[in-house]
C-alpha cells in the first residue's frame, strides 16, 4: 500500500515538472519572438511638387506659401503665431519654421487648429519638407440632415489653396467621399489623394476631421 502511495506521489511530481518545463519553454519563445515590423506607407504621386529642388528653391516656395497662409488667417480674423525652433526627434535635428493657429473650443463647422511649416533635417539641413496640418470640427448633424458637404466653403480649402496655389480645384469627388464616410459610417475613414505631387490625407473620426498636405522629403540638390 505504501509503495502505491509513493508511486502516485512521484508520478504527480514528475507530471508537474513536465508541465512547468513546457510552460517555461513557451514563455521563452514568447519573450524572444521579435515584434512584427510595420512599414509606414509613403505615397508620393507624380507631379510638379515631386520634382527635386535646391534648398533655395524650397525656401522661396516656403516664403510665398507663408505669405498666402498669413493672408488667409487675417481674412478669417484668426490670431496666429510664428516661430522657428530646433528640436531633436529620433536622434535627428529638425529645424522647424512654422505658422500656427490654435482654437481649443471651436463651434461645429469651424477650424480647431492649423499648422504650416518648413522643416529642415539634420545639423547640415541637407533635406526638408513643407507640411500643412488642420484640425476641423465637423457639423455632423447638418451633413446628415442636408445630405451634403461643401469642402470648398470651409477654411480648410482656403489654407489648402494657399499651399498649392491652385484656386481652380474641383472638390465634387472629395465632397462625396467625405459625405460617404459620415452618412454611411464608412469604416475606412481615410482619404488619400495626389495633388500634383503633394500628398493630401484626410482622416475622419466622429466629428473630427484631420487634414494634412505634405510634400516629399526633399534631398536638396547641390
**Residue entry with cell 516656395:** 61
Q: Are 52 and 63 contacting, i.e. CB atoms less than 8 angstroms apart?
A: no
Instruction: Look at phi and psi of residue 100 and say left if phi exceeds 0, alpha if psi is from -120 to 50, else beta.
Output: beta
pLDDT-derived band at 15, boundaries 50, 70, 90: very low
List strand residue ranges (DSSP E) for 21-163, in order.
81-89, 92-102, 110-121, 127-137
**pLDDT tens string 128-184:** 999 999 999 999 999 999 988 999 999 999 999 999 999 999 999 999 999 999 988
pLDDT of residue 107: 86
Using the predicted structure, report yes or no on whether residue 12 has a pLDDT greater than 70: no
When pLDDT is averaged across residues 43-62 and rounded to a whole number, the result is 89
How are the residues of the chain apportioned to helix, strand and coil, as percentages rounded to the nearest 5? 40, 30, 30
Q: Are 131 and 119 contacting, i.e. CB atoms less than 8 angstroms apart?
A: yes
pLDDT of residue 42: 47
173: its cell numbers: 469627388
pTM: 0.78
Amino acid at each position: 500500500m505504501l509503495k502505491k502511495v509513493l508511486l502516485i506521489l512521484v508520478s504527480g511530481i514528475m507530471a508537474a515538472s513536465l508541465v512547468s518545463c513546457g510552460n517555461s519553454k513557451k514563455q521563452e519563445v514568447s519573450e524572444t519572438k521579435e515584434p512584427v515590423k510595420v512599414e509606414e506607407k509613403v505615397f508620393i504621386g507624380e507631379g510638379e511638387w515631386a520634382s527635386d529642388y535646391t534648398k533655395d528653391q524650397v525656401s522661396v516656395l516656403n516664403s510665398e506659401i507663408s505669405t498666402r497662409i498669413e493672408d488667409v488667417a487675417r481674412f478669417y480674423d484668426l490670431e496666429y503665431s510664428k516661430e522657428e525652433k530646433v528640436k531633436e526627434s529620433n536622434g535627428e535635428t529638425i529645424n522647424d519654421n512654422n505658422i500656427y493657429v490654435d482654437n481649443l473650443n471651436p463651434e461645429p463647422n469651424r477650424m480647431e487648429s492649423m499648422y504650416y511649416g518648413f522643416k529642415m533635417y539634420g545639423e547640415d539641413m541637407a533635406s526638408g519638407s513643407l507640411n500643412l496640418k488642420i484640425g476641423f470640427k465637423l457639423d455632423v448633424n447638418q451633413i446628415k440632415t442636408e445630405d451634403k458637404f461643401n469642402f470648398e466653403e470651409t477654411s480648410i480649402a482656403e489654407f489648402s489653396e494657399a499651399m498649392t496655389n491652385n484656386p481652380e480645384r474641383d472638390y465634387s469627388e472629395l465632397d462625396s467621399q467625405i459625405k460617404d464616410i459620415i452618412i454611411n459610417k464608412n469604416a475606412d475613414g481615410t482619404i488619400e489623394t495626389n495633388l500634383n505631387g503633394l500628398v493630401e490625407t484626410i482622416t475622419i473620426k466622429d466629428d473630427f476631421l484631420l487634414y494634412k498636405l505634405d510634400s516629399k522629403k526633399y534631398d536638396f540638390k547641390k
